[in-house]
Structure 1
Amino acid sequence: MLKSRRIPFDFFQRVGRSMMAVVLILPLVSILMGLGGVLLNPNVHQILPFLAGDGFQAAGELMQRAGQAVFNNLPVLFAVAIAITWTGAGMAGFASLIAFFIMHTVLGALIDITGLKLNEKMMGDELGIETMQTGVFGGILIGFLTAWLYNKFHRTELPDAISLFSGERLVPIIASFAAIGVAVVFYFIWPAVGMAILTLGQYVATHTNPLVVGLYGGIEKLLIPFGLHHIYNTPLLFTEIGAHYETLDGSRVVGDQNVYIAQVIDKLRDPSVAITGGTYIAGKFIPVMFGLPAAALAMIRVAREDRKAKARSLLIAAAVTAFLTGITEPLEFTFLFVAPLLYGVHALLTGLAFGLANFLGMKAGFAGGSGLIDFVLFNVLPNPSNAWILTIGLGLVFGVVYYFVFRTLILARDLKTPGREEEGEETRLFTKEEAREKMGITKGGHRKADEKADDSRAARILTALGGKGNITKLDACISRLRVGVKDRDRVDEAALKQEGASGVLRVADGVQAVFGTRSSVIKEEIRELLEKEE
């Protein structure tokens, strides 16, 4: 009887962390685009007429186009970032980029050859290639597929005649053939899948209601402690499921977050542009900018007098960070650690804020963080609607609710928030790692090395090089293992030759061991051994 195989929870955490590599660049991009929007904004020109000058206008246009380059190429960014973060290897990212090019080139060629007729919304450009639009789904698939291929083949040794392509150099080749296979599969299944996504997106856009949006906001908050919120967020924020829009210059933009930003930019050029994006994320500013700072104030007010000063300094810093940038981890994971009940209330109030924003027809959004910076750059200054005024009004109400609810619960249940710890305990904020450890959620990584000594080829070569502590850098070319070392006298040339090195060269910053075309594979074996021992 076959045993069922359970996918470990850490797998989903790693998926979320891989996607976060792309998400983390968006705050910087948002500031770039927002500043460009300020320079191009006619409303700002009335206050600061000099910004209407040609130089400032050119700078604004450049900033906005630079930012849009990121949003317009999210699929390939997901492909490369996921491959690199999943494997920790630059070669995996390079292979993923090649695979992405090939997949879309083959898709476009198949469509041309067969004359396949598709819905015009499913056709478009990817890095200049006319192809079928697979969106971030295609990029995510290529990223994880390439990462899997890298992990499986990056230590493969080929026969001597073709050993030049052993190790890491084999991965781009295999990934290229895999991408052709993916393209063929997509050719047959994606028209149906893509139309289903388009239909779902249309349904979501026309059947959105406060309950659905509220559940979205509350569930996202509940998933944050587990590190799974980016998996949950991606379809709505960056795909057809969230929204779709054709810009004034003819580009097609998808995702609730992306559409909102694109429409704000277009509205500066044409005031008749309607804002339809920002339907799901409009309520996020309320708990972040108003709710959490009010919760921090409540924790300060109920702190013990002898610890109030320390609690005040910590909590004000965390509250200001949340208010300005939308980075909420220091606050959220602190009361998740000391009082999970407060986090549950926070999730409930967040869902309520999202639902109310939708009930009031608010359209608001951000490009990176949901703090004051994005609030001003993408809502107040461009003034695409009056949603920002409603946000402030609702935010003040929620701030009062957060304050009294948190204060009441802390006092009634004697919760040990910062400043109320037991004697001998330190007043401090807690990290997400500490909170997750308390919840029994451990961060995955390399397993600890077995207590039994490793007698592999990599271990013997590492010993001959003077051990882990003697290594400063590790690389390989076609025929040589290039190693930077702290002390060349600790390198055992005889032992290296015994392991197959045909020669050992001492250079200024280390040694070069000539292992032939096996050098790349040996480098990867040693790298993995070094990581395992960390």
Structure 2
Amino acid sequence: MMKLQSISFDFFQRVGRSMMAVVLILPLVSILMGLGGVLLNPNVHEILPFLSNNGFQVTGELMQRAGQVVFNNLPVLFAVAIAITWTGAGMAGFSSLIAFFILHTVLGSLIDITDLKINEKMLGTELGIETMQTGVFGGILIGFLTAYLYNKFHRTKLPDAISLFSGERLVPIVASFAAIGVAVLFYFIWPLVGMGILALGEYVATHTNPVVVGLYGGIEKLLIPFGLHHIYNTPLLFTEIGGSYEALEGARIVGDQNVYIAQVIDKLRDPSVTLTGGTYIAGKFIPVMFGLPAAALAMIRVAHDRRKAKARSLLIAAAVTAFLTGITEPLEFTFLFVAPVLYGVHALLTAVAFGLANFLEMKAGFAGGSGLIDFVLFNVLPNHSNAWLLTIGLGLVFGVIYYFTFRTLIITRNLKTPGREDTEEETRLYTKDEAREKMGITQQHGQVETKDCNSRAHQILEALGGKENITKLDACISRLRVGVKNADQVDEEMLKKLGASGVLKVADGVQAVYGTRSSVIKEEIREVMEKER
């Protein structure tokens, strides 16, 4: 019988983390595509006529195509990224790529040989292979299947005669046969599943309303602290559930985010293209670009005078990050752990913003992040609708609401937001210099004592309960994400003294917020664990 632990909190946060490996590349791709769109945009040519010459036009076309290829190949990217991030092994990613090729080659061959009659919308190509469209679902399945097979077989020893294929070299072979089995299974069941997804996508695309869209935005925000939001929003953003669109070049684009980007690009070539994408995500700019910076201002204004400078330096940096790039976690986590009620208000206001954007029939979107960069590149400069003007107007209103709501709650409830801690020891957030001081100087009077033989990573490892207590070690943009056998063995206060601005313990998962240093700390801990073997 499958153990409950296999479907535990740690399992699901690892799933979300694996998917995020693909999502994190999209901001760079969005800049590439956005700049290409600027060079091709006739509105920009009226201001900068020299951009209309052939050299700039060819450059713009190349940049857009280079970026678009990432969105067009998300299934294989999910397959490879999930296999690597789940196992930490390059061979797993290589095996997943092979399995992906075989899956679609066999599936396409079965359709051709049997002359299977299915909806044309379900047929297409993957990496040039004519096959049945399984979208990112197929890629995700192959990624996790290969990761499972890697963990099961990468230490297998074969008889001497075939020992060449022992260990990791056995995994591509096993994964290949598994992919054939999956292809046969998909041949029989995916036509029904695919038709169901198409029907659901059609229904969602034609039956959206402010309540549904608002709930989508609010729930996504509530899942962020647990690292589960990528599991939740991936189907809507990147699959048929989020709608579909037949691009001018003939490709079938699926997912609310993908459809919006494709339509923005096509509309530059053909103004008659109607925007249908961006239905669900149009409201995201409002809380990210306007609400959270206003909340940061409120926290700065109510900070105690003796700590206002410290709070200002921390909160301004986090607010600018959110405003420019759409990465909100550093700012959200500054108040999540010390004042959860503020995060609840933030989620509620986010839901209202999403629902209001849908009520006003706004179509807006982003390729990589919901910050100023994507807002300008994919909304302001294309100027395909008045949604960007409405976003600014609503954003200013929400900024005022955020500011006074946060300020009022902090003062009336005496919430310990950055700069309002009662004593120096209760400070949850540190500047870079203070964090280094906390981690590197021997302290007396019950403080953390740094031994010569102990590194920061060694101390954090001890605070997590030691190597034996860790089942999975990972990190995202701002958090160290650890699966543990026993959460009670984790010393939360010690982690905070070692620089964590917050610690979240849920069942068998622990998340410690170390900001952008999290991935470095993860590798340092991994090295310590390797040395202790």
Give the structure-2-normalised TM-score.
Answer: 0.82
Distance in structure 2 (CA, Å) of the matches to 1:201 and 1:314: 42
Please list the CA deviations of residues 25-61 of structure 1 after superposition, one character each: whole Å capped at 9, or x if unmatched: 0000000000000000000000000000111101100
Distance in structure 2 (CA, Å) of the matches to 1:429 and 1:401: 28
Q: Report the counterpart of residue 492 of structure 1 in structure 2.
A: none
Distance in structure 2 (CA, Å) of the matches to 1:374 and 1:22: 18
One-letter amino acid matched to 1:329:
E
Residues 226 and 441 of structure 1 are in contact (CA less than 8 Å); yes or no, is this contact kept in structure 2? Answer: no
Task: Map residues 147-162 of structure 1 onto 2, 5 A cutoff.
Answer: 147-162=147-162
The DSSP-based 3-state class of the residue aligned with 2:240 is coil
Task: Map residues 327-342 of structure 1 onto 2, 5 A cutoff.
Answer: 327-342=327-342
Q: Report the counterpart of residue 246 of structure 1 in structure 2.
A: 246
User: Does the C-alpha gap of structure 1 residues 532 and 252 become closer, same or farther in structure 2, counting only changes over 3 Å?
Assistant: farther
One-letter amino acid matched to 2:176:
S
Q: Report the counterpart of residue 82 of structure 1 in structure 2.
A: 82
Q: Report the counterpart of residue 290 of structure 1 in structure 2.
A: 290
User: Does the C-alpha gap of structure 1 residues 529 and 341 become closer, same or farther in structure 2, counting only changes over 3 Å?
Assistant: closer
The DSSP-based 3-state class of the residue aligned with 2:131 is strand
The DSSP-based 3-state class of the residue aligned with 1:362 is coil
**Any unmatched runs of 5+ in structure 1?**
446-526
Per the TM alignment, residue 443 of structure 1 is displaced from its structure 2 partner at its CA by: 4.5
Please list the CA deviations of residues 196-253 of structure 1 after superposition, one character each: whole Å capped at 9, or x if unmatched: 0000000000110000000000000000000000000100000000010010010011
Distance in structure 1 (CA, Å) of the matches to 2:179 and 2:55: 45
Residues 9 and 508 of structure 2 are in contact (CA less than 8 Å); yes or no, is this contact kept in structure 1? Answer: no
Per the TM alignment, residue 438 of structure 1 is displaced from its structure 2 partner at its CA by: 3.8
Residues 334 and 429 of structure 1 are in contact (CA less than 8 Å); yes or no, is this contact kept in structure 2? Answer: no
Q: Report the counterpart of residue 35 of structure 1 in structure 2.
A: 35
Distance in structure 1 (CA, Å) of the matches to 2:194 and 2:419: 53
Per the TM alignment, residue 8 of structure 1 is displaced from its structure 2 partner at its CA by: 1.9
Q: Report the counterpart of residue 448 of structure 1 in structure 2.
A: none
Distance in structure 1 (CA, Å) of the matches to 2:54 and 2:391: 34
Residues 8 and 508 of structure 2 are in contact (CA less than 8 Å); yes or no, is this contact kept in structure 1? Answer: no
Q: Which of 492, 503, 507 in structure 2 is aligned with 1:437? A: 503
Q: Report the counterpart of residue 114 of structure 2 in structure 1.
A: 114
The DSSP-based 3-state class of the residue aligned with 1:421 is coil
Between 394-403 and 327-336, report the one with greater CA deviation.
327-336
Distance in structure 2 (CA, Å) of the matches to 1:432 and 1:441: 17
One-letter amino acid matched to 1:5:
L
Distance in structure 2 (CA, Å) of the matches to 1:158 and 1:59: 53
Per the TM alignment, residue 440 of structure 1 is displaced from its structure 2 partner at its CA by: 3.8
Q: Report the counterpart of residue 203 of structure 1 in structure 2.
A: 203
Distance in structure 2 (CA, Å) of the matches to 1:267 and 1:360: 21
Task: Map residues 18-167 of structure 1 onto 2, 5 A cutoff.
Answer: 18-167=18-167
Per the TM alignment, residue 282 of structure 1 is displaced from its structure 2 partner at its CA by: 0.3
How much identity, in percent, do the aligned residues show? 83
Q: How many matched pairs?
A: 452
User: Does the C-alpha gap of structure 1 residues 435 and 15 become closer, same or farther in structure 2, counting only changes over 3 Å?
Assistant: farther
Distance in structure 1 (CA, Å) of the matches to 2:92 and 2:256: 30
Q: Report the counterpart of residue 14 of structure 1 in structure 2.
A: 14
Please list the CA deviations of residues 293-332 of structure 1 after superposition, one character each: whole Å capped at 9, or x if unmatched: 0000100111111111221121111111111111111110
Between 341-350 and 307-316, report the one with greater CA deviation.
307-316
User: Does the C-alpha gap of structure 1 residues 324 and 403 become closer, same or farther in structure 2, counting only changes over 3 Å?
Assistant: same
One-letter amino acid matched to 2:4:
R
User: Does the C-alpha gap of structure 1 residues 181 and 392 become closer, same or farther in structure 2, counting only changes over 3 Å?
Assistant: same
Q: Report the counterpart of residue 429 of structure 2 in structure 1.
A: 428
Q: Report the counterpart of residue 389 of structure 1 in structure 2.
A: 389
Is 1:233 the equivalent of 2:299? no
Distance in structure 2 (CA, Å) of the matches to 1:246 and 1:440: 43
Q: Report the counterpart of residue 302 of structure 2 in structure 1.
A: 302
Please list the CA deviations of residues 153-210 of structure 1 after superposition, one character each: whole Å capped at 9, or x if unmatched: 0011111111111111100001000000000000000000000000000000011000
One-letter amino acid matched to 1:378:
F
Residues 124 and 133 of structure 1 are in contact (CA less than 8 Å); yes or no, is this contact kept in structure 2? Answer: yes
One-letter amino acid matched to 1:437:
V
One-letter amino acid matched to 1:245:
Y
Distance in structure 1 (CA, Å) of the matches to 2:415 and 2:430: 14
The DSSP-based 3-state class of the residue aligned with 1:241 is helix
The DSSP-based 3-state class of the residue aligned with 1:131 is strand
Residues 225 and 436 of structure 1 are in contact (CA less than 8 Å); yes or no, is this contact kept in structure 2? Answer: no
Distance in structure 1 (CA, Å) of the matches to 2:70 and 2:145: 22
Distance in structure 1 (CA, Å) of the matches to 2:13 and 2:3: 21
Distance in structure 2 (CA, Å) of the matches to 1:53 and 1:313: 45
One-letter amino acid matched to 1:203:
Y
Q: Report the counterpart of residue 4 of structure 2 in structure 1.
A: 5
Distance in structure 2 (CA, Å) of the matches to 1:388 and 1:179: 45
User: Does the C-alpha gap of structure 1 residues 132 and 8 become closer, same or farther in structure 2, counting only changes over 3 Å?
Assistant: same
Per the TM alignment, residue 533 of structure 1 is displaced from its structure 2 partner at its CA by: 3.7
Distance in structure 2 (CA, Å) of the matches to 1:67 and 1:47: 25
Distance in structure 2 (CA, Å) of the matches to 1:528 and 1:109: 46
The DSSP-based 3-state class of the residue aligned with 1:125 is strand
Residues 19 and 230 of structure 1 are in contact (CA less than 8 Å); yes or no, is this contact kept in structure 2? Answer: yes
Distance in structure 2 (CA, Å) of the matches to 1:62 and 1:245: 22
Please list the CA deviations of residues 105-142 of structure 1 after superposition, one character each: whole Å capped at 9, or x if unmatched: 00000001100011010000000000000000000000
* RMSD (Å), alpha carbons: 1.9
One-letter amino acid matched to 2:417:
T
User: Does the C-alpha gap of structure 1 residues 276 and 429 become closer, same or farther in structure 2, counting only changes over 3 Å?
Assistant: farther
One-letter amino acid matched to 1:291:
G
One-letter amino acid matched to 2:378:
F
Residues 436 and 442 of structure 1 are in contact (CA less than 8 Å); yes or no, is this contact kept in structure 2? Answer: no
Residues 409 and 415 of structure 1 are in contact (CA less than 8 Å); yes or no, is this contact kept in structure 2? Answer: yes
Give the structure-1-normalised TM-score.
Answer: 0.82
One-letter amino acid matched to 1:33:
M
**Any unmatched runs of 5+ in structure 2?**
432-477, 481-499, 512-525
Q: Which has the larger radius of gyration?
A: 1
Per the TM alignment, residue 423 of structure 1 is displaced from its structure 2 partner at its CA by: 2.1
Residues 419 and 427 of structure 1 are in contact (CA less than 8 Å); yes or no, is this contact kept in structure 2? Answer: no
Per the TM alignment, residue 356 of structure 1 is displaced from its structure 2 partner at its CA by: 0.2
Task: Map residues 310-389 of structure 1 onto 2, 5 A cutoff.
Answer: 310-389=310-389
